[in-house]
């Protein structure tokens, strides 16, 4: 769809919408996907393939809900298991100076890490991304994955520091 002028693109969209069969279309044009698709087969990385009925916006909404649920579930599990282990292994103590400083700056670190993820995701969504960066796709995908893991690690550390602060009465 990148190389089509708008009138030609509209004719293609109308033809695909009117077509009664099945079409597999790949595009970075979200508007196009929202207009013509009634199902999304998404290759989300790490070998995970997901099918979602509906247009692209609906797929993104459901994907964000799945991610939030996964994160909440992981944090809930951590809340259930970690306090029991920490109470048995060490008594509550005040946060050390280094931990206090880390707690003061970790929110900004999380915001920076999330910005890095958004930067990568924006880069991947550019219409000419794969054309310009074809030889770097594997490296950039790994960097995006690492950036996402860093965000998760920072959230886990923030939660840990908050719990330590509460236990210490601070």
67 belongs to a structural domain:
no
- What mean pLDDT is predicted for residues 148-169? 86
**How many domains does the chain fold into?**
1
Q: What percent of the chain has pLDDT over 90?
A: 10
Most confident of 11-25, 48-62, 72-86: 11-25
Please indicate whether residue 38 or residue 133 has the higher confidence score (pLDDT).
38
Please indicate whether residue 51 or residue 84 has the higher confidence score (pLDDT).
51
As a whole number of angstroms, the distance between CA 108 and CA 86 comes to 27
In degrees rounded to 5, what are phi and psi of residue 32?
-60, -50
26 belongs to a structural domain:
no
As a whole number of angstroms, the distance between CA 82 and CA 5 comes to 57
As a whole number of angstroms, the distance between CA 163 and CA 73 comes to 17
Burial per residue of 113-133, b for 16 or more beta-carbon CB atoms within 10 angstroms, e otherwise: bbebbeebeeeeeeeebeeee
73 belongs to a structural domain:
no
What is the CATH number for 163? 1.10.287.380
Domain range for 106 is 93-170
146 belongs to a structural domain:
yes
């Amino acid at each position: 769809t990148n190389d089509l002028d708008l009138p030609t693109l509209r004719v293609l969209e109308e033809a695909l919408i009117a077509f009664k069969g099945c079409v597999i279309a790949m595009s970075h044009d979200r508007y196009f996907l929202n207009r013509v698709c009634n199902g999304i087969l998404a290759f989300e990385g790490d070998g995970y393939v997901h099918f979602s009925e509906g247009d692209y916006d609906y797929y993104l909404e459901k994907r964000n809900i799945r991610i939030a649920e996964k994160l909440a579930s992981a944090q809930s599990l951590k809340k259930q298991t970690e306090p029991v282990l920490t109470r048995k292994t060490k008594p509550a103590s005040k946060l050390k100076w280094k931990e206090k400083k880390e707690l003061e700056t970790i929110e900004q670190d999380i915001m920076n890490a999330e910005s890095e993820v958004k930067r990568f995701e924006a880069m991947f969504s550019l219409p000419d991304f794969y054309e310009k960066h074809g030889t770097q796709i594997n490296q950039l995908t790994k960097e995006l994955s690492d950036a996402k893991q860093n965000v998760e690690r920072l959230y886990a550390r923030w939660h840990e520091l908050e719990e330590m602060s509460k236990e210490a009465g601070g």
